[in-house]
Amino acid sequence: MLPQWAAAQAYPTKPVQMVVPFAAGGPADIMARALALKLAAALKQPMLVINQPGAGGGLGSKAVAQAQPDGYNLLFTLDSTLTANPILYGSKTGFDPVNDLRPITTVVAYGQTLVVHPSLKVTNFAQFLELARKQDLAYASAGNASPGNLTMELLAGLIKAKMTHVPYRGAAPALNDLVGGQVNAGFLVTPGVVPYVTTDKLIAPVTSSTKRSPLLPQVPTVSEAGFPAATLEFSMVLLAPAKTPEAIVQRLQKETRDALASEDMQRLMKNNDYAVVADTPEQAKARLANTFTRMSELITTRGIKAE
C-alpha cells in the first residue's frame, strides 16, 4: 500500500481533465464546472473541463474509459449514460460501463416534478391517476429515453394506463407546449416548472424524488401520495478509468465530498433542486448497479427506444 499512498500524496502534479460528455451550458456542464473550481483549489492544480458531446453521452464516456488510469482523466456524467444507454444502444456504446470505468462518487441526485395543464381540472395525484386510467393523456418530455420519458413510463406501467409520449428536443420546448395546452402533462425538472406552478399556469400533483423539493415544499412525493414504487431519481456521477489507483480514487472522493459541503455549493444545490449524495466509491457502484437493473426492466417492458 505504501507506493499507492505515496502516489496519492504527490497527486496531482499537473492539470487534471474532467470530461463532460454533453454540450456546454447544460445542467451537467454547469455542475461539473462548479465542482471543478472547488477541486482545483483543493488539489492545487488546474481542473480542465472538456465538453465532448455525442452519442447520448457515449462519446466522451468512451474516451475516458479508454484513457490512462492515472487520475488525470475523469468523467462527470449523468447516470443514464451508464445505466440506460447500454440497454438502449447495446455494444454500440463502445465501452463497458461496469468494467471500463470506476465510480468515485455519486455527486448529486434529482427527481422530476409531475405537472399538468389546468384544463384537466386535476388538483392532486389521486385525481390525475383516475383521469389517466380513463383516457389517453398526451405527455411531453425532453426526448426519447430522457428522465421525463422514463419517469412517466414507470408510472404508466404501475397504474396500467395508456399514455401517449410526445418527445421534444429539450425541456424548454416541452415546457412551452405544456403551458400552452398542446399536451396534457409531463415529468419535468423542478427549477424549470416553478414559475408556472407558483402562478397556477401548471398544477404540480407530485414529485418523483425521495424527499420534497425545497423549491416546491408544498408538493408531496409519489411515496407520500401512496405510490413509492414510482419514486425515480437520476444522478450525476464522477468516475475514472477502471484501473485508477485506489488511493487516488479515495482522495478524489474526499475532496468532492468536502467541496459539496461548502456554503456556495449548497446554495447551488438548492437552486437546482439537487440533493447532495457524496457517497463512497463502493456505494456509488452499488447505486449504479441498482439503477441499471431498474432501467433494464423499465426500458424492456415499456418498449422505450433511443432517438
Closest CA to 77 of 19, 30, 143: 19
Residue keyed to cell 409531463: 186
Q: Tell me the residue type at 6.
A: A
Whether 5 has a pLDDT exceeding 60, the answer reads no
The whole-number pLDDT of residue 56 equals 84
In this prediction, residue 91 carries a pLDDT of 82
pLDDT of amino acid 18: 98
Determine whether domain 113-230 maps to CATH 3.30.1490.20.
no
Closest C-alpha among 180, 173, 226 to residue 202: 180
Mean predicted confidence (pLDDT) in 197-205: 98
Region for residue 202 given its phi and psi (left: phi exceeds 0; alpha: psi -120 to 50; beta: otherwise) = beta
The C-alpha atoms of residue 281 and residue 199 are separated, in whole angstroms, by 42
Going by pLDDT thresholds of 50, 70 and 90, the confidence category of residue 1 is very low
Q: Does 97 have pLDDT greater than 90? A: yes
pLDDT tens for each residue of 38-59: 999 999 999 999 999 998 899 9
Domains 2-110+234-302 and 113-230 share a fold: yes
Please tell me the predicted confidence (pLDDT) of residue 24: 92
Which pLDDT does position 2 carry in this prediction? 47
**Predicted pLDDT of residue 79:** 96
- With bands split at pLDDT 50, 70 and 90, how would you rate the model's confidence at 3? low
Tens digit of each residue's pLDDT (9 = 90 or more) over 231-255: 999 999 999 999 999 999 999 999 9
Q: Is the pLDDT of residue 8 over 80?
A: no
Confidence check: pLDDT of 161 > 90:
yes
Phi/psi of residue 157, nearest 5 degrees: -65, -40
CA-to-CA distance for 38 and 241, rounded, in angstroms? 22
Tens of pLDDT, residue by residue over 139-152, are: 999 999 999 999 99
From 3.30.930.10, 3.30.70.2190, 3.40.50.1820, 3.40.190.150, which CATH number describes the 2-110+234-302 domain? 3.40.190.150
Average pLDDT in the chain: 95
Is the full-model pTM beyond 0.75?
yes
> What is the grid cell recorded at 229?
414504487
What pLDDT band is residue 134 in, cutting at 50, 70 and 90?
very high
The identity of residue 210, as a single letter, is: T
Mean pLDDT value of segment 123-130: 96
3-state secondary structure string, 62-120? Answer: HHHHCCCCCCCEEEEEECHHHHCHHHHHHHHHCCCCCCCEEEEEEEEEECCEEEECHHH
Q: Which pLDDT score, from 0 to 100, does residue 92 have?
A: 85
Give domain limits for the chain: 2-110+234-302, 113-230
Closest by Cα among 108, 145, 112 to 32: 108
